[in-house]
Structure 1
Amino acid sequence: MKKKQGFFQKKKIWLIIFILLGLVVFYWVGLVLAQGADEPGTSADPLVTKSYVTEFVGHYFQENIGTAVKKILSETSTGSAQWQIKTISAGQDFTGGAGTELILRTGTALILDPTGSGLPDLTGGVNLAAGKVVPPNHLILIPRADGRGIRAQTTVVIMHR
């Protein structure tokens, strides 16, 4: 009977060795397959990582949004968007085109309004009728090119655009 026990013990040892060898082979196969995996975010592996999205969005904003902002800023800093200074002698009129903004800096002037609609005082939040005194340092809007403007009572300096 002792012989049979030794036979089974040898068989058990070989079984354990075979199982351990199989586990080692499966481990190596797993390592080889893991090394062959593509980087996340490539066309072979469509998984998108946070870093990929951050890089893509950052690049998009730099190219598209940055260019649009620069274009808008360059358009608004040229031409009629800049304030111009003008001195008007007593008795002279200043009439602007549609959308003209003006600020009376010094002197006294009256509202000139042949239409009877008045001029909006954007600073004071009121409508100034014809013949009213233009308040100094208030933003006045000329909404249409219909003869509305100001008439200088004394020599005045205005800013307009």
Structure 2
Amino acid sequence: AILLSAGLLLGIGFWHGRTVGAQLPEPGSPGDPLVTLSWVTEHVATRTALVVVDLPAGARLIGEAGTELVLRSGQATAIDSLLGGLANVTRGVDLRMGEAVPANHLLIVPRGDGRGLFAVTPLVVMVRGGHRVTER
């Protein structure tokens, strides 16, 4: 009975794998296109690089919509807007005005409405995307 059950389960698993596998698109088809090295190189090259930004104490770094921020050193607080705060995607929380920004957490500015960081002490921040720095 055990051998019969094992054989039956093996047969069902084999049949299911074949039917699921049969639904996968063929490589090179419109459902799974092949791409050239030049296409990959072009699209990877257009991705904006992370830049390191040094801010003095009292400065503000304001991001545009979609800007990514990572505080590397120093103490910063969040600058929010009426529509919300900075998305801390590392913790899955929203940082509101005046909340301490944790180091090495990925923050995303969801809208270009004045959100960013305030430098309590001199900062080093990695930034990907549009931003401006205002001092004092």
Identity percentage over the alignment? Answer: 38
Structure 1 residue 74 displacement after superposition: 2.5
Match of 1:77 among 33, 36, 45: 45
Return the structure number with greater relative CO, CA threshold 8 A, min gap 6.
2
* 1:1-161 to 2 correspondences below 5 Å: 65-67=34-36, 70-78=38-46, 80=48, 82-115=49-82, 117-161=84-128
- After TM superposition, give the deviation of residue 73 of structure 1 in Å: 4.2
| Consecutive unaligned residues in structure 2, runs of 5 or more | 1-25, 129-136
* Residue type at the aligned position of 2:106: L
Q: Which runs of 4+ in 1 moved over 4 A?
A: none
**Cα displacement (A) at 1:70:** 4.2
Q: Report SS of the residue matched to 2:35.
A: helix
Unaligned runs of 5+ in 1: 1-56
Tell me, yes or no, if the aligned pair for 1:115 and 1:148 is still in contact at 8 Å.
Answer: no
Of Structure 1 and Structure 2, which has the larger fraction of its residues in helix?
1
More strand by proportion, 1 or 2? Answer: 2
- Bigger radius of gyration among the two: 1
Instruction: Tell me the SS of whatever aligns to 2:125.
Output: strand
Q: Number of aligned residue pairs: give it.
A: 100
TM-score by length of 2: 0.66
The SS at the match of 1:66 is coil
Aligned-pair RMSD on alpha carbons?
Answer: 2.1
